[in-house]
Structure 1
Amino acid sequence: MEGEDTSAFTKAAWRLVPFLFVCYLFAYLDRINVAFAKLQMLSDLGFSEAVYGFGASVFFIGYLLFEVPSNLLLLRVGPRRWIARIMVTWGLVSAGMMFVRTPTTFYIMRFLLGVAEAGFFPAIVLYLTYWFPASRRSKVTALFMTGIPMSGVIGGPLSGWLMTVLNGSHGFAGWQWLFLVEGIPTALLGVMAYFYLDDKVSDAKWLTESQKDTLERTLKEEEPNSGLHSLRDGLLNPKVLLVSAVYFFYTMGLYGVSFWLPTLIKSSGVSDPLNVGLLTAIPYGAGAIAMVLVSHSSDRTGERRWHLIVPGLVAAFGLAMSVWFANSTVMAMVALTIGTMGVMTTISQFWVIPPAFLGGAAAAAGLALANSVGSISGVVSPSLIGLVKQATGSAGAGVIALSVSLLIGGVLVLTVPASLVNNRRR
């Protein structure tokens, strides 16, 4: 029976995870490419660091307002249609960023990008629960979420190359080409998602009837038994609020890295945009490897809490050391790589926890709420570093604040009962 189970889940993983990974890679690239565009955009348009910081963070205001409603609509229209809708509108708005001219239009477009994207990530996490039981979910979630660091591995060099080679082509600046070239593929992938994805196991024509039975039986056996299934549970239960707070403090580190890594590398003495882009690939590549290795250990042992806490401690140490070695490119890169490995791993490991005790409407609402609370850190984190850098000339104090935030997240994880989230393999 174990061999039959493995075959069915392997087939589902190969069918779904690579496609979802590519979707998330381009989607996340559209979210953070403003960090690379910033290297030219600020001087071309006369924007200050504070304007950039607020523009980077205003994305999360639209994201926050529409996150929970978006995931509840998914329950009504189905994940296939809703994921496709999100990606098409999101890609088109991202491409439209090339027409930004003033701080006001910058803020408006970033807000609309947040509205368009709202619900995408929790929709995918919820969608994975339709196909993979808790005992197998850490590795699958991590593989999908390597789209975050891989967007840096691919996006860094690609963004640097686009901004260097296409700068001035047909009257457009390099940063304008960046938004256009990286936005259109997301919209096209959205169209593909509509035809490629299936809403549930029973709809999958690429599975045999035996494989469908295997998946559905195992999913039924490992349904959360906490009794949290209603919409009210997903929005108001103290356990949901606790893990949402955990995610807030961990995503402070994530968004600090996402929006400021190119700037931190440039501050260490690297000036050429292409070289900055190439160097950003190193921390992100190491982060992707760390995510997969830790997730494998997490699924193998069934232990979840310490697989989340330890990477958070590593992230805090790495980010703090990047400030200490800020004037040395080599040492700063080593520290930023360590910090990025920890940050990326905390995010993938966190998303194994909420689905372990939430089901039904509670899962849809609770996942969206946790992601919404985390998105608040996307407002706080870039603005904090931007204001500190403008006031002091250095981003160091802001990065230290992100390290402290990661430590607070670890303390909060200790208050989550191990029995609630751990999953011993059957």
Structure 2
Amino acid sequence: MSTTPIPKTSRELLQSPVLKSAISKAAKRLMPMLVILYVVSFLDRTNVGFAEAGLEVDRGISASAYAFGAGFFFVGYAIFEIPSNLLLQKVGAKIWLARIAITWGIVSACFAFVQGPTSFILLRFLLGVTEAGLFPGVILFLSQWFPNKVRVQMFAIFYLAQPFSQMIGSPLSGWLINVGNDLGSIRGWQLMFAVEGGLAILAGIACLFFLIDSPAKAKFLSVEEKAALAEIMALEDTVKDETGPRGVGAALRNGKVWYFTVIYFCLQIAVYGVTFYLPQQVSALTGTKVGLQVGLLSAIPWFFGIFACYFVGKAATTVERRRKFGVVLFITTGLSLFGAAYAGSNSLPTLGIIFLTLTVCSFLAVGPVTWSYPTAFLSGTAAAAGIGLINSLGNLGGFVAPNLRNIVNGWFDSDGPAGVVALGILPFVAAVMMFMTYRFKNKADELL
């Protein structure tokens, strides 16, 4: 067994070949499973966009009931987010993430049996309850495995699940709807929910075999690699303990935690304002019914989003770069939403697809940058509670987005651009707040 000493200073640790080897091995072992998990998660929470027309025709679910149900997911999600993350901290990521995936897969498959608005809204709430804790749990999990220097890159790889989900899921959902409608015995949207819910159950089972709770339990790391990871993570935790909140209560009262909750809320307004209605927007732009063709066209923005997310994550290695990227990307998100609204109201399909692509690229790329801030000053149970709070309340943007869009369109008595324009305002608020983070000083940033 080699006895090569591990460097002791933070900068030496970050340059250590042993640490780099450990990070590389951990990324190769953990990230594929986490990406797959989030792919099916994002698919199961957004495939409702492909079912809207069928639910209205077959089950009498109106546009307002659909908007309320689509967003009501985030109410259950918000209520159980923090408790779920605290339980993950207690029982371990492997068991808890597997439980989350299996139970949400069962609920997702049950959408095939929706009978009307009440059952639809109830199942959306239960889907939020069962999925609560997945995203913040993974963010917490990654913050325990990877040092701050490379964390944005890991977050970006995890975020790739969103475009992969829509690239794969949009054509899959459209194809399943076509196949189901051709069968005659069931409706296409029923087949879509049943199959895609089953995928989540399989992903949950796979978690039990591929995830490892901590570096100390990782058999794929050498003794030296475990020690290198343990030392750099302990150093960062010590710095966080000196400057960040300690314990659940302190995290929930922390001003910075609430600051980033507002930023994340503005981001989610844009994310779900687009995601829930992307198939319908593409359908309206092209004059084509929702199906395989619309699914393929809907995948275009997500395809380009992969590159934006990856390259920004790879480049955002300093605090200054993260702030600049954040400001520019939030502004781009808002402007692109305005452009998409203009293209839609003027029947310009090519321009509409371009603006939707810019919107998706910018909000995907800014997500990992946003999460780099709270994970730089939160640790332990404070991290579990703080990350849970940011994600739970921030994700209420997913409840507000479809309902705000529906309300604003109602004011103008049309399904025109007004609702999309309303959603485009919030990213500018986030851009200003991201710029003002230059006032925040975290000792952990000195390790970058």
Query: Match for 1:57: what amino acid?
Result: G
Q: What does 1:23-422 correspond to in 2, within 5 Å?
A: 23-169=37-183, 171-223=185-237, 224=240, 225-272=242-289, 273-299=291-317, 303-326=321-344, 327-389=347-409, 392-416=413-437, 417-420=439-442
CA distance in 1, matches of 2:94, 2:195: 25
Q: SS where residue 272 of structure 2 aligns?
A: helix
Moved over 6 A (4+): none
Distance 1:347 1:240, change over 3 A: same
Q: Deviations over 1:323-366 (max 9, x none)?
A: 11111111100111111111111222211111011111110000
CA distance in 2, matches of 1:261, 1:419: 39
Q: Deviations over 1:395-415 (max 9, x none)?
A: 411111111100011112233
TM-score (norm 2): 0.92
Greater mean alpha carbon deviation, residues 208-217 or residues 92-101: 208-217
Distance 1:159 1:31, change over 3 A: same
Deviation at 1:419, TM superposition (A): 2.8
CA distance in 1, matches of 2:378, 2:77: 22
Deviation at 1:59, TM superposition (A): 0.6
CA distance in 1, matches of 2:292, 2:38: 24
Greater mean alpha carbon deviation, residues 28-37 or residues 383-392: 383-392
Distance 1:292 1:44, change over 3 A: same
The answer to whether the 8 Å contact 2:236/2:444 transfers is no
The answer to whether the 8 Å contact 2:164/2:303 transfers is yes
CA distance in 2, matches of 1:321, 1:131: 40
CA distance in 1, matches of 2:288, 2:54: 12
CA distance in 2, matches of 1:360, 1:322: 42
Q: SS where residue 243 of structure 2 aligns?
A: coil
Distance 1:325 1:422, change over 3 A: farther
Q: Deviations over 1:347-392 (max 9, x none)?
A: 2221111101111111000000001111211111011223344553
Distance 1:421 1:148, change over 3 A: farther
TM-score (norm 1): 0.96
Deviation at 1:227, TM superposition (A): 3.2
Structure 2 unaligned blocks of 5 or more: 1-14
Query: Match for 1:337: what amino acid?
Result: T
The answer to whether the 8 Å contact 2:95/2:208 transfers is yes
Deviation at 1:126, TM superposition (A): 0.2
Deviation at 1:9, TM superposition (A): 0.4
Q: SS where residue 228 of structure 1 aligns?
A: coil
CA distance in 1, matches of 2:95, 2:340: 43
The answer to whether the 8 Å contact 1:247/1:374 transfers is yes
Deviation at 1:73, TM superposition (A): 1.2
CA distance in 2, matches of 1:167, 1:226: 58
Query: Match for 2:313: what amino acid?
Result: S
Query: Match for 1:377: what amino acid?
Result: G
CA distance in 2, matches of 1:389, 1:168: 34
Deviation at 1:170, TM superposition (A): 6.0
Distance 1:146 1:52, change over 3 A: same
Deviation at 1:301, TM superposition (A): 7.0
| Percent identity of paired positions between Structure 1 and Structure 2 | 37
Larger radius of gyration between Structure 1 and Structure 2: 2
Q: Deviations over 1:139-183 (max 9, x none)?
A: 100101111121111111111111112215261100001101111
Q: Deviations over 1:189-208 (max 9, x none)?
A: 11121232111111111111
Q: Does 1:4 align with 2:18?
A: yes
Deviation at 1:237, TM superposition (A): 0.7
The answer to whether the 8 Å contact 1:243/1:370 transfers is yes
The answer to whether the 8 Å contact 1:251/1:347 transfers is no
Deviation at 1:425, TM superposition (A): 5.6
